[in-house]
Amino acid sequence: MADKLVPVHVAVIMDGNGRWASQRNLPRIAGHSAGAKSVEEVIKAAKESGVKILTLYAFSTENWKRPKYEVDALFKLLENYIDSQTEILIKNDIRLSAIGRIEGLPDTVQRKLKSVMDKTMSGSSLLLNLALNYGARSEIVDAVRAVSKDCVAGKADPDRIDEKDFSGYLYTKNLPDPDLLIRTSGEMRLSNFLLWQLSYSEIYISKKMWPDFKKDDFIEALNEYRNRQRRYGG
């Protein structure tokens, strides 16, 4: 039986890579590389703690505004991560999935993502869900477009669509909403991340930059969650 004190779904805004690098007079990509190590620690901590779904905000629709060299380096880092972690994910019974406008990612990234998702399809101990080319407003717009098409085609009745129906058109349609949102670097905003899904999630803010956020910090966030009394406005 699942431990009700352990969040089923944890979402993470991995913030502060660039500032971490700047504070050390390093190029920004060095911060992203260091952040990849934190990803590995948090995945391990989530699996060991009994978390079933871990959604990481890896690349937002706004991130395209960054310098091209940084964007290119981020995708190369992602490709290298996929290559190095595929067998580890399989060995540890972890399934990889992705949400966002995946079709807008570079072709090589799309191919590697599809390959590792196929190879890890049977993973059942943890679902590692990467938000890539993701924006919550874009997600809602895409959902509205899909609803509209179904209404025009007679597959949906606009007068009968409720919140549950609408959730079925989101990228996360097969996932429960996050129980806990973790954001690093001390920032107090959602940054266009899972705006619909986070309506009643508990929020935990760490002042640490993402590269400094390790296994013990993740456990601390889970302990904080255990001490919360969740309320849903009733």
Residue 172 phi/psi, 5° resolution?
A: -95, 25
- Residue 103 three-state SS: helix
Question: Tokens representing 57?
Answer: 């905000």
CA 159 vs. chain centroid, Å, equals 32
Which residues fall within 8 angstroms of residue 231, CB to CB, at 6 or more apart?
A: none
* Nearest alpha carbon to residue 193 among 176, 202, 184, 181: 181
Q: Of the residues 3, 17, 25, 63, which is catalytic?
A: 63
- The CA R_g of the chain, rounded to the nearest whole Å, is 18
Handedness of CA 205, 210, 213, 219 (dihedral sign): positive
Instruction: Give yes or no: 63 in active site.
Output: yes
Instruction: Give yes or no: 15 in active site.
Output: yes
Quickly list H helices, the chain.
Answer: 17-23, 28-49, 68-91, 107-119, 136-152, 163-167, 215-226
Q: Of the residues 15, 17, 129, 217, which is catalytic?
A: 15
Report, as residue numbers or ranges, the catalytic residues.
15, 63
